Amino acid sequence: MTMGIASDPEVSAIVAEDVRKAERTDRIVGTIQRQGALAVLIVVALIALATFPNFRSFDNAATILVAAAPPMLIALGMTFVIITGGIDLSVGSLYVLGGVLAAWASQYGILAAFALPLAVCGAIGLANGLLIAYTRMAPFIVTLAALLGARGLMRAISSEGSETYLVRDDAFRTLGNGSFLDIGYQVWLVAALVVAGMVVLARTRFGHSVYAVGGSEDAAGLMGVPVRRTKVWVYVLSGLLAGLAGAINAAKLGSGVTVLGTGMELDAIAAVVIGGTLLTGGAGTIAGTIAGVLLLGVIQNLINQVGNVNSNWQQVISGAFLALVVVAQTYLVRLRRVT
Amino acid sequence: MALLEVIDVSKIFPGVRALDQVSFTLQPGEVHALVGENGAGKSTLIKVLTGVYQPDGGDVRYLDQPVQFGTPMDAQRAGISTIYQEVNLVPLMSVAQNLFLGREPRRFGLIDRGRMEHQARAILTDYGVSADVRRPLGTLALGAQQMVALARAVMIDAKVVIMDEPTSSLEPREVQTLFGVIRDLHSRGIGIIYVSHRLDELYQICDAVTILRDGKLVHTGRLADLERIRLVSLMLGRDMAEVRREGATAFSGAATGDVEATPVLRVRELNSRHKLHDVTFDVRPGEVVGLGGLLGAGRSETIKAIGGAYHLDSGDIQVDGKDLRKPTPVRAVRFGVAVQPEDRKAEGIIPGLSVRENIALAVLPRLSRFGFVSDRKVDEVVDRYMKRLQIKASGPDQVVGDLSGGNQQKVLLARLLATGPKVLLLDEPTRGIDVGAKAEVQSLIDELAAEGLGVVLVSSDAEELVEGSDRVVVLRDGVVVGTLTGAQVTTEDLMSTIATEATREH
C-alpha cells in the first residue's frame, strides 16, 4: 500500500533528527538500566582482585558460585514474578520447606528427594497464583500468608524445627558435593536452568506475556494476552524454583536444616532489583538478575575475606546499594519517558 | 450490505438512560463521525459495540449477523478494533513486540526476533513511523504510538476500526499522516467510526455523521449535507429557530462587572502542546466570564492550567496584579485562585470524610499554628459556610459520600470559598446535580460575583453559560476564536462562533 506520507523531504529531515536524538538518549539510558549491575560487579571484582590475593584463586570463585546457586534459583523465579508487577514473599519459607522435604524423602531415593519438594512447593505456588490472578488479592498479602503457612508446615513436620532429617541417599548427596571440571554439579544445574529461563523470557510468547502483563495489565488484556494464566504460571514457577533451591541445598548440607531461609525472599528481591528489573513491573532481564545475585555474593565473600569485619556489614552495604539502585532506576525511567 | 448496524439499542444505568433506542449504520469503506457533547452517549455506544457493556435492548448486527460480544476480546476477534485516546499498548515493550504481541512469528517454537523486527519495520513504514522498532514503545511520540496501535488493529484483520478522539494529542503533521492512513483504510473497505469534536477534521475526513444528545439519536446522515451551524446546534440541543426561554436558569442576567476596573485575573498567551494556543483573556472583579466551546476545545485545560494543575509551555498569569509564575496548585491557592474541577468525585471532594473535614481541608494551613489545628476556628468556618451555602446534611460530621450530588458540590464550593479566593474557576459547576440545587448554585455564583470575586465559568449547557456569563470567550481547538459581549451573549452567537470555519495557519 502506498500513502505518500513523509514525502516532504524537509519535514522528514527534521523528524529524522528528532528521532536520532531520542534514540540515542534511549539507547544510553537503556544500557545503563540493563547493564548497570554488571558494570558494578566488574568494578567490585577488579578492586577485589587487586586488593585481596585470596579472592584471585579459582577455589574462591567456585565457592562464590556454589554459595550463589540457591539464591540464584530463587531470584530467577522472582525475576518472572516481579516483571509481571507482582512479588513473592513465600520463597524463603518454601526454600526451607523444600530442604526439609527433600532430606526426608531422600530415604526413598533421589527421584523422591526432588519430586516431593517440587510437588509441594509448586502446589503452594499454584495456590498463590490462583488467588492473585482470580480473586485479585494483592500479591504481597497472598504470598505473605504463604510465607507464614509454609514455615508453619515446615515446623510441623520437623517437630517444631528440632528434628533434622539426614539425607539418606548417596546419589543425592553426591549431587550436592560432587563437581564437574572442579565446579559443583549444582552450579551446572542452576546455569542450565538460568539459560532456559532466559530463552523462555526473551523468546517465547509466554515470556512476552510476562512483560506485557507487568507493563500494562489492561492493555495486555485488550491485546489478547492471557493475563490470569500468565500470573498463575509465574507463581508456580517461583514456587518450583524455591523448592528446588531448597532441595539442592539439602543435598549440599546432607540434611534438612530448619533454621535457614529467613529473609531469603528479601535478598532475592534485592538481587532482582539491583539487576535492573523494575519493581513496578514490565521491564527486566535475567542477565541483570545474575549480576545482582553475584554482586551480593561477592560483597559477602569480600567481607568474609577481610576477616575482622562483622559480617552484618554485608547487609548494610547491600542495603545501601539497593537504595542507590532504586533511586537511579526512578531517575532513569523518568529520563526515558521524557524523550 | 451494511458492515455494522445498530438497531434501537438502549442501555440503562441506575437512574440514567445512557442510550435510548439509538440506531445507525456503518457501510464498508465509510468514515462515520460519531459526535455529541459530554454525556450524550458516545462512549456508552462504543462500549456496547466493543463488548464492554451488554445492551439492555435492541440489536447489533455485524456482517448481517446478529452479534453480542461478551468481552472486548470477542469484538476484536470478530474484527472490531478500537483505538483509544490513551494508547492501549504496553509502553515498556518494544515497538515490534507491541505490534506482534500474541502473534509473533516463530521458528522452532521460539520467537524469530529478526523476522519480527523486519516485518514490523516494513509495516510501520506504511504508517509513516520510521522509529527503531526495537525501542520501547513509550519512548515514541504519542502520534507514532497511535499509528502502532492502528497498524496492529489493521494487522489483525479489523473490518471496523473505532477511533476515539485520535487527534487530540497529535501534531498537525501527525494528523495529516493519520488522515492518509484513514483514506487508505477507506479504500480497502474498512469501516471507521470516528469520534472527534474538531469540526474541521470531521468535514475533512468523514462521509457520514451520527449525532447523539442525552442518549438519544438526533441526526444521522451524510455529513456533506449538514451545515456546520446545524451540526453544532444539533449537538448542543438548541434549535436556532427556537425562541429563547429567557429566565430558564437562576442567573439574574444583570451584568455585574465593572468594565473600567483593573482585571483581577489576566491571562496572556497560554500555550500547551496541542491543547492551548495563545489563550488570552481578562476577568474583572465582579465579572463572570464564560468559556465557551465544544468538548476538547481547551476550556478545562485553561482552567486547570491557571490552577497549576496542567502543564504550560509558556504564558503569563496575573492575579490581582501579581505575577503567578510557574503555577502549581499550592501557589495558585496562595495567590487566591480557587478551582472547582470538572470531575468532583475524582478531583474534588473526599467522599469518605465528613462535611467538616472536607471543608477544613483547604483552610488547615491557615487555621493551624505550629502544626496544631484549632478545633474552635475550624468549627466556626464550617458552620459559616454550611449556613451560607445551605448545605443539607444531618450535621458537620455526616460523610460527604452520603450526600446528594448538589450538596457534595456545595461542600466543594464551601471549601474553595473558605480559602478566601479572589478568582473562582468553575468547571461544570452544575453537572449531575438536581434542578433545585442547580438553581441554588447558579444564584450563588451571581452573589459571589456581586461581592467582587472574578469568576470563570465553564459549562456545556449553552443556556447556563450564556445566562450566567457577562462575557463569553469562545475557544476552538485551544484557540480563542471570539469573545461575545453585551447583546452578543446569546446561544445563537455562541453556536455560530463555534461553527465558523477555522482558518488554520498550521
For residue A281, pLDDT over 80 is answered with yes
- Say what percent of chain B tops pLDDT 90: 4
Q: How far apart (Å, rounded) are the C-alpha atoms in residues B79 and B62? A: 10
Query: How do the residues of chain B divide into helix, strand and coil, expressed in percent and rounded to 5?
Result: 35, 25, 40
Once rounded to an integer, what is the mean pLDDT over residues B368-375? 68
Sheet with B4-13, strands from edge to edge, namely: B65-67, B57-62, B4-13, B16-26, B216-222, B208-213, B31-35, B191-195, B160-164, B80-83
What radius of gyration, in Å, describes the C-alpha atoms of chain A?
A: 22
Domain definitions of chain B by residue range? 4-236, 243-336+422-506, 348-420
B52 touches chain A (CB under 8 A): no
B93 touches chain A (CB under 8 A): yes
* Cβ–Cβ < 8 Å for A339, A24: no
For residue B91, pLDDT over 90 is answered with no
Query: What distances in angstroms separate CA A261 from CA A70, A191, B7, one per listed residue?
Result: 10, 21, 63
Residues in B touching A4 (Cβ below 8 Å): 180
Tens digit of each residue's pLDDT (9 = 90 or more) over B315-357 = 888 888 888 888 888 888 888 888 888 777 667 778 788 888 8
- Chain centre distance of CA A17: 40
Q: How far apart (Å, rounded) are the C-alpha atoms in residues B447 and A234? A: 61
A19 touches chain B (CB under 8 A): yes
Q: Which of A12, A204, A219 is facing B111, going by the closest CB pair?
A: A204
Q: Looking at A32-46, A118-132, A213-227, A245-259, which range is the least confident one? A: A32-46
For residue A4, pLDDT over 60 is answered with no
Q: How far apart (Å, rounded) are the C-alpha atoms in residues A222 and A211? A: 15
Q: How many helices (H) and strands (E) does chain A have?
A: 13, 2
Q: Which of B110, B131, B173 is facing A203, going by the closest CB pair?
A: B110
Average pLDDT over chain B reads: 82
Class of domain B4-236 as given by CATH: alpha beta
CA distance B205 to chain A (A): 15
Choose from B52, B85, B89, B90 for mutation: most chain A CBs within 10 A: B90
- State the complex-level ipTM: 0.76
Across B104-130, b (16+ Cβ under 10 Å) vs e yields beeeeeebebeebbebbbebbebbbbb
For the whole model, what pTM was predicted? 0.71
Please choose, from the candidates B471, B462, B459, B456, the residue with its C-alpha nearest in 3D space to the C-alpha of residue B499.
B462
Helices A185-203 and A286-306 sit at what angle, rounded to 10 degrees? 150
* Cβ–Cβ < 8 Å for A34, A277: no
Q: How far apart (Å, rounded) are the C-alpha atoms in residues A25 and A335? A: 8
Given an 8 Å threshold on Cβ–Cβ distance, is B177 in contact with A6? yes
Residues in A touching B188 (Cβ below 8 Å): 1
A324 touches chain B (CB under 8 A): no
Domains B4-236 and B243-336+422-506 agree in fold = yes
Return the CATH superfamily for domain B243-336+422-506: P-loop containing nucleotide triphosphate hydrolases (3.40.50.300)
Once rounded to an integer, what is the mean pLDDT over residues B56-78? 86
Q: How far apart (Å, rounded) are the C-alpha atoms in residues A284 and A82? A: 9
Grid cell 590475593 is found at: A53
Residues in A touching B117 (Cβ below 8 Å): none
Q: Which of B73, B109, B181 is facing A224, going by the closest CB pair?
A: B73
pLDDT of residue A241: 95
* Cβ–Cβ < 8 Å for A139, A132: yes
Q: Chain B neighbours among A 183-202 (CB < 8 Å)?
A: 199, 202
Q: Is A254 left (phi over 0), alpha (psi -120 to 50) or beta?
A: left
Tens digit of each residue's pLDDT (9 = 90 or more) over B428-483 = 888 767 666 777 888 888 888 888 888 999 887 777 888 888 888 998 888 888 88
Q: How far apart (Å, rounded) are the C-alpha atoms in residues B276 and B270? A: 6
pLDDT of residue A126: 95
Residues in A touching B152 (Cβ below 8 Å): 223
Q: Strand B372-373 relative to strand B368-369: parallel, antiparallel, unpaired?
A: antiparallel
Tens digit of each residue's pLDDT (9 = 90 or more) over B250-298 = 565 555 555 567 888 888 888 887 788 899 998 888 888 989 888 778 8
Q: In the structure, what pLDDT confidence band is assigned to residue A132 with cuts at 50, 70 and 90?
A: very high
Q: How far apart (Å, rounded) are the C-alpha atoms in residues A249 and A190? A: 12
3-state SS assignment for residue B4: strand
Given an 8 Å threshold on Cβ–Cβ distance, is B90 in contact with A23? no
Element (DSSP H or E) covering residue B318:
strand B314-319
pLDDT of residue B501: 65
User: What are the cell numbers at B289?
Assistant: 466570564
Q: Strand B454-458 relative to strand B423-427: parallel, antiparallel, unpaired?
A: parallel
Q: Which of B90, B104, B188 is facing A220, going by the closest CB pair?
A: B90
Q: Which of A2, A6, A215 is facing B92, going by the closest CB pair?
A: A215
For residue B141, pLDDT over 80 is answered with no
pLDDT of residue A140: 92
Q: In the structure, what pLDDT confidence band is assigned to residue A6 with cuts at 50, 70 and 90?
A: very low
A50 touches chain B (CB under 8 A): no
Residues in A touching B130 (Cβ below 8 Å): 6, 12, 15-16, 19
Tens digit of each residue's pLDDT (9 = 90 or more) over B199-217 = 888 888 999 999 988 888 8
Given an 8 Å threshold on Cβ–Cβ distance, is B136 in contact with A336? yes
